């Protein structure tokens, strides 16, 4: 993988994948891949900060819960996020998501992400780097 995040096709839905030197970076990059399904992350300004937290019994469910927390925050707050600062301690994730209100003209949202799924859900080390991925429902 050349980028730290990417999307991949999956039937009518789309996969999101983040890579990093540690779990926190992989989870943050998975969230950037999620943002990229909607709009180009580099075009999102960091005007607002939202605190997010979740915990789960294992890393895969933690990723699932994390991405769903991001999706929920975007929907409830009417925001799009372009940067994520993530911290993972055992089974707990705390994060700050930075973004701005959705601007339909500037962001030109491609699709609405409805939620993360358990399909192709994986958090594992590959070639010395962490990879965090799943398919999201669009």
pLDDT tens for residues 112-133? 999 999 999 999 999 999 999 9
Mean residue pLDDT across the chain: 94
Looking at residue 1, what is its pLDDT? 46
Looking at residue 9, what is its pLDDT? 76
What's the predicted TM-score (pTM) here?
A: 0.93
Give the N- to C-terminal CA distance of the chain in Å, as an integer.
23
* Alpha-carbon span 116 to 136, nearest angstrom: 4
Q: For domain 5-137, which CATH number applies: 1.10.8.100, 3.55.10.10, 3.30.9.10, 3.40.1360.10?
A: 3.55.10.10
User: pLDDT for 69-117, tens place per residue?
Assistant: 999 999 999 999 999 999 999 999 999 999 999 999 999 998 899 999 9
- Is residue 2's pLDDT more than 70? no
What are the residue ranges spanned by the domains of the chain? 5-137
């Amino acid at each position: 993988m050349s980028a730290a995040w990417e999307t991949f096709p999956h039937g009518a839905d789309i996969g999101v994948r983040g890579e990093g030197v540690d779990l926190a970076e992989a989870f943050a990059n998975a969230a950037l891949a999620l943002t990229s399904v909607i709009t180009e992350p580099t075009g999102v300004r960091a005007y607002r900060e939202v605190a997010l937290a979740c915990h789960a019994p294992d890393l895969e469910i933690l990723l699932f819960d994390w991405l769903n927390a991001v999706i929920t925050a975007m929907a409830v707050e009417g925001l799009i996020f372009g940067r994520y600062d993530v911290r993972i301690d055992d089974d707990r994730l705390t994060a700050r998501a930075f973004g701005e209100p959705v601007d339909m003209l500037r962001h030109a949202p491609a699709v609405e992400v409805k939620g993360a799924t358990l399909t192709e859900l994986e958090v594992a080390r590959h070639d010395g780097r962490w990879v965090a991925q799943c398919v999201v429902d669009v």
